[in-house]
Amino acid sequence: TIDFYYLPGSAPCRAVLMAAKAVGVELNLKLVDLMSGEQLKPEFLKINPQHTIPTLVDGDLSLWESRAIIAYLVEKYGKTDSLYPKDAAKRALVNQRMYFDMGTLYDRFATYYYPQIFAKAPANPENFKKMEEAVGFLNTFLEGQTYAAGDSLTLADITLVATISSYDLAGFDLSKYPNVAKWYSNCKATVPGYDINEAGLAEFKKFFS
Ligand code: GSH
């Protein structure tokens, strides 16, 4: 069995759940209650000293960082390489989009919204502009493209849609970014396990009210 430590509302956890579905691999789900600090308990720190979810345990391997996890799932259990192509140039593009998602798109979402949600801090307009710039970059990458990297569904789409659906849930207006809006509705219809993302978003939503 592959143990998967997660919370349904967490964006990086939602990305792993969708990727597992797309690969066709079963995960043994283990909830980690961040609100009560379960991730800081010695048992969990033994598994992941960085105390983040998602965390996956497959035999001797303990792995965290959602994008590292989803790449592993395809490489180890994928029947084909289509979600994470072996071709160097194709894979490079998927990696670029995944790093963009982690370092820019999701990071700017968290920088703007999380102080407001978790610390009741006032909104910072400079950080809002940064978020708009990031979604603008994605809109440019998607010009003339159906998918985020190359011409079929990859891990880039899965991780990016976990983030963009979080923007949508937070009330960020995606209609100003037509390529993003079109790609997002296509993802909703075609990404395997998108219903799991929707269910997770419903949990995440509780923090926004
Ligand atoms: N870049 C990481 C990934 O993509 O997996 C982010 C992981 C992360 O920050 N997870 C949050 C967490 O576990 C929840 S969404 N926070 C609890 C903690 O850091 O103690």
Query: ipTM of the predicted structure?
Result: 0.99
Does 163 contact ligand 1 (Cβ within 6 A)? no
Does 200 contact ligand 1 (Cβ within 6 A)? no
* Domains with residue ranges and CATH for the chain: 2-77 (3.40.30.10), 88-208 (1.20.1050.10)
Mean pLDDT calculated for residue range 17-23: 98
**Residues in contact with 68: Cβ distance below 8 Å, sequence separation at least 6, in sequence order:** none
Helix (H, G, I), strand (E, B) or coil at 49: coil
pLDDT (0 to 100) of residue 193: 95
Q: Tell me the torsion sign for CA atoms 159, 90, 187, 28.
A: negative
Enumerate helices (H) and strands (E) in the chain, giving the number of each: 9, 4
Helix (H, G, I), strand (E, B) or coil at 82: coil
| Residues in the chain, total | 209
pLDDT (0 to 100) of residue 207: 84
Best residue for ligand 1 mutational test, from 17, 40, 41, 53 (most atoms within 8 Å of Cβ) = 53
Does 159 contact ligand 1 (Cβ within 6 A)? no
pLDDT (0 to 100) of residue 5: 98
